[in-house]
Amino acid sequence: MTSHLKSPEVFLSMPHACSYLPGRSATSLFLDPRQPLDSRQYASFMRLGFRRSGDLIYRPHCRQCSACIPVRIPVSRFWPNRGQRRIWKRNQDLTVTASTPIYNEEHFDLYQRYQAARHRGGGMDDPDPKKYMNFLGSKYIDTQFYEMRLQEKLLAVAVTDNLPDGLSAVYTFFDPEEKHRGLGVLAVLWQIEQARARNLPWLYLGYWIKECVKMSYKGNYRPLEALINGRWTLLTDTHLENSA
């Protein structure tokens, strides 16, 4: 007997302040959290532009704004630019190991230092371990916390979802005192190489927002595909101009 999985219900949030563009209101579509998805099911929704925050799977759905554009890197076609190659070479003294997605005090201490330095007052610098894990972890999705270390010193953690058709870069936090290393860039480059090694076609980067400095950096990875009008298509130089 063939079983048919019921598609989760989709709800529309109440309007709320936009997290990325000051002065704007936002609304989101989100899936019924009472119907959790596994990695395979979640991948099908990622191809439709959804993303997760903890176990909440959502997609921006703003009536008068389309600034949040889902993007992914076709890893077989990616070639790093000069600056990215320098960062990769600079960090060859680091080791990367996979850690299980459970609460780790060393990770949380680094996360707090990162938030204090980079996003103070942004709503994510809450010193609550439970909120931290509710944001990054998932009970149902295959997730790894990849540790980047210089000998024994933890410099960065890249939270990554493993999906049937690619990897999803959930969030990366790193030592704010190691700016010269470009650890955020390194994490993306490392995840690209991991996807290649596993013969997975995509690295999903979430939403590219040209008008938001914290989200526009994704335009620095070429080629870059975007979900526009329901179709994945390569972003052109016209789309990407001024995004660096």
| 3-state secondary structure (DSSP) of residue 240 | helix
Q: Are residues 136 and 28 in the same domain?
A: no
Residue 129 placed within a domain: yes
- Please report the pLDDT score of residue 207 as a whole number: 97
Which of 61-65, 132-136, 162-166, 238-242 is predicted with the least confidence, judged by mean pLDDT?
238-242
Convert the pLDDT of each residue in 185-201 to its tens digit: 999 999 999 999 999 99
Does residue 46 lie in a domain region? yes
**Would the pLDDT of 78 be above 50?**
yes
Confidence tier at 243 by pLDDT (50, 70, 90): very low
Tell me the pLDDT of the chain averaged across its residues. 92
Position 234 scores a pLDDT of 95
Task: Give the range among 6-20, 61-75, 165-179, 190-204 with minimum mean pLDDT.
Answer: 6-20
Taking each helix axis from N to C end, the angle separating 183-197 and 82-90, rounded to the nearest 10 degrees, works out to: 90
The answer to the question of residue 182 being in a domain is yes
Q: Is the dihedral of CA 99, 202, 28, 12 positive or negative?
A: negative
Q: Are residues 124 and 174 in the same domain?
A: yes
3-state secondary structure of 173: strand
Clarify whether residues 84 and 191 are in a common domain: yes
Cα separation, 85 vs 189, whole angstroms:
9
Residue 128 confidence (pLDDT) above 50: yes
Do 121 and 195 belong to one domain? yes
Question: Residue 7 has what pLDDT?
Answer: 81
Residue 122 reports pLDDT greater than 70: no
Domain shared by 185 and 95, yes or no: yes
Return the pLDDT at 244.
41
**What's the CATH code of the domain at 159?**
3.40.630.30
First to last CA, the chain: 53
Q: Is residue 71 part of a domain?
A: no
For a pLDDT cut of 90, what percent of the chain falls above it? 87
Do 127 and 183 fall within a single domain?
A: yes
3 band by pLDDT with thresholds 50, 70 and 90: very low
Residue 196's domain comprises 79-200
Q: Is residue 1 part of a domain?
A: no
**Does residue 59 sit in the same domain as residue 167?**
no
- Kindly state whether residues 42 and 101 are assigned to the same domain: no
158: in domain: yes
Residues 62, 84, single domain; the answer is no
Residues of the chain with pLDDT > 70: what percent?
91
Neighbours of 125 (CB within 10 A): 15
52 and 87, same domain (yes or no)? no
Residues 83 and 191 in one domain: yes
Structural domain total, the chain? 2
Q: What is the pLDDT of residue 55?
A: 95
Q: Within a domain: residue 58?
A: yes
Same domain flag for 88 and 194 = yes
